Amino acid sequence: MFFKGKKILVVGGTGTIGSSIVKTLLREDPDVIRVFSRDEHKQFELQNQLGTRKNVRYLIGDVRNYDRVYTAMQDIDYVFHLAAMKHVPSCEYNPYEAVLTNVHGTNNVIRASLAQKVKKVVFTSTDKAISPTNAYGATKLTAERLITAAEYSKGLGQTVFASVRFGNVMGSRGSVIPLFKEQVVDQGRITITDTTMTRFMMTLKQATSLTIKALEEARGGEIFVLKMPIVSLKDLATIVIEETCHKCGKKKEDVVVKEIGLRPGEKMYEELMTYEESLTAWEVPEMFIIPYAKGSGAGPIYKDAKRATPGTYRSEGHPTLSLDDLHFLLKREGLV
């Protein structure tokens, strides 16, 4: 087991993906997992979920504070960096706050990792970092570039840096499924940006396992682009309305669907990999791997890797999950 006896820091470890990574890594019997976040209530909730464990430590701190990040990384082997401002409207309204957390915070993680001689760092990015149209995407793209740049500017440093890029995680805090359910119950209607909108979506289990796999596979500087289903927002709303109405005794015909149009900085479709990136990318069954330097790697350096087919990986123009398949997935994950 890769993490057995190792020391791990999860920055942003009380978020949806962070806490899932913590729970998953505990199965491999690590020496210690340090859960780093600034939200003491969410830390309290996670402690209650996990119970008393000698190998879990809870550290209150802000990724913006270099000294605190540096202290948290003492004697650490592996770092998962998930702390971020994530909500598009919040970042649009408070752009410099997004810069402080997503950009300066990532730079603090890089500096502290090198100073503390951490073995590997994996940073979680987003599809919104590709051709960004909002402050959130722009800051995550900059953070990606910092991680990649750290690989070739680290001098004698031995830390391996890599990024993981994925889309929306179904059912995560602040995501659209819990919002739709709440609107149906409380208001008898839902607001939807545009019924033709599509999004990359994956389950929490997929996001967790592939992020962990990316850290295990990382050689240095690459971006791992996780493959995931494309979902129609209209189909998603239809299923959530039907299931929620069934559970709360409402008639689905009475639920009004109101289109409100794109919010500032929002896209109709999302991208996970540009055409230019695909020209140097490798493909494995569960993900694409973009090396940090053009032409790097004369042959496959990842198991079962082949050259990716040139092309843009985006949610427009590709088949979406069928209504039945999406319904099955949501039911299986306990989301409806």
The predicted pLDDT at position 294 comes to 47
**How far is residue 81's CA from residue 72's CA, in Å, rounded to a whole number?**
12
To the nearest 10°, report the CA torsion of 56, 57, 61, 64: -50
pTM over 0.85: yes
Is the per-residue pLDDT at 43 higher than 90?
A: yes
Is the per-residue pLDDT at 260 higher than 60?
A: yes
- Where helices occur in the chain by DSSP H, the ranges are 16-25, 40-50, 66-72, 88-93, 95-98, 105-115, 135-152, 176-187, 204-217, 233-248, 275-278, 323-332
Matching residue, tokens 């090396």: 291
Beta bridge partners of 190: 257
The most confident of the ranges 100-104, 129-133, 197-201, 244-248 is 100-104
Task: Give the residue from 185, 208, 152, 183 showing the smallest Cα distance to 18.
Answer: 208
Task: Give the residue from 13, 158, 4 showing the smallest Cα distance to 79.
Answer: 13
Residues 160, 121 contacting (CB under 8 angstroms): yes
pLDDT band at 300 (very low <50, low <70, confident <90, very high): low
Write down how long the chain is: 336
Task: Give the residue from 159, 116, 167 showing the smallest Cα distance to 140.
Answer: 167
Minimum mean pLDDT range among 37-41, 131-135, 273-277, 317-321: 317-321
Mean pLDDT across the chain, nearest whole number? 91
The predicted pLDDT at position 293 comes to 64
pLDDT band at 298 (very low <50, low <70, confident <90, very high): very low
pLDDT per residue as tens digits for the range 56-112? 999 999 999 999 999 999 999 999 999 999 988 899 999 999 999 999 999 999 999
The predicted pLDDT at position 249 comes to 83
pLDDT band at 295 (very low <50, low <70, confident <90, very high): very low
Q: What is the mean pLDDT of residues 10-31?
A: 96
Higher pLDDT: 318 or 15? It is: 15
Is the per-residue pLDDT at 114 higher than 90?
A: yes
Q: What is the mean pLDDT of residues 129-142?
A: 95
Higher pLDDT: 262 or 141? It is: 141
Residues 3, 78 contacting (CB under 8 angstroms): yes
Is the per-residue pLDDT at 301 higher than 80?
A: no
Q: Is 128 a catalytic residue?
A: yes
Catalytic residue among 128, 140, 213, 267: 128
Q: What proportion of the chain, given as a percentage, has pLDDT over 70?
A: 97
**How far is residue 53's CA from residue 73's CA, in Å, rounded to a whole number?**
20
In the chain the domains, ranked by start, together with CATH numbers, are 7-167+203-228+271-314 (3.40.50.720)
The predicted pLDDT at position 101 comes to 98
pLDDT per residue as tens digits for the range 183-222? 898 888 889 888 889 999 989 999 999 899 999 999 999 9
Is the per-residue pLDDT at 258 higher than 60?
A: yes
